Amino acid sequence: MRLGTANSFDQLSDEELQAHMGIDRYGSFELTEAVRPSYDLQVVPRQGFRHDEYCDEASGDRIPVVMAAASRDFLLDVLMDLMETLGPVVDVVLESSHQGGHGHRDYYREHIDMPVLQSVLVDFEDLLLNDGCCGIAIVNPRRRQEVQLDEHKLLIAYGEPLQEFEARLIEHDVYPSPDIRFITEAEHVHSSSERFAREFDVLRSRLGMDVEY
Percent of the chain residues topping a pLDDT of 90: 73
pLDDT in tens, 116-163: 999 999 999 999 999 999 999 999 999 999 999 999 999 999 998 999
Q: Is 128 left (phi over 0), alpha (psi -120 to 50) or beta?
A: alpha
CA angle 89, 104, 192 (to 5 degrees): 95
List % helix, strand, coil for the chain (3-state, nearest 5).
30, 30, 40
pLDDT band at 62 (very low <50, low <70, confident <90, very high): confident
| Beta-strand runs (E) in 56-99 | 62-69, 89-96
What's the CA gap between 119 and 99, in Å, rounded? 27
| Beta-strand runs (E) in the chain | 2-3, 25-26, 29-30, 35-37, 48-55, 62-69, 89-96, 105-113, 134-140, 145-149, 155-158, 188-190
At 13 the pLDDT is 80
- Asked if residue 19 has pLDDT above 80, the reply is yes
CB 201 within 8 A of CB 209: no
Sheet holding 48-55, edge to edge: 48-55, 62-69, 155-158, 145-149, 134-140, 89-96, 105-113
CB 189 within 8 A of CB 9: yes
Domain-wise residue ranges, the chain? 2-206
**The pTM is what?**
0.91
CB atoms within 10 A of CB 67: 20
Percent of the chain residues topping a pLDDT of 70: 92
Mean of pLDDT values over 37-52: 93
At 39 the pLDDT is 87
What residue type is 140 in one-letter code? N
- Asked if residue 211 has pLDDT above 90, the reply is no
Mean of pLDDT values over 30-45: 93
Residue-averaged pLDDT of the chain: 90
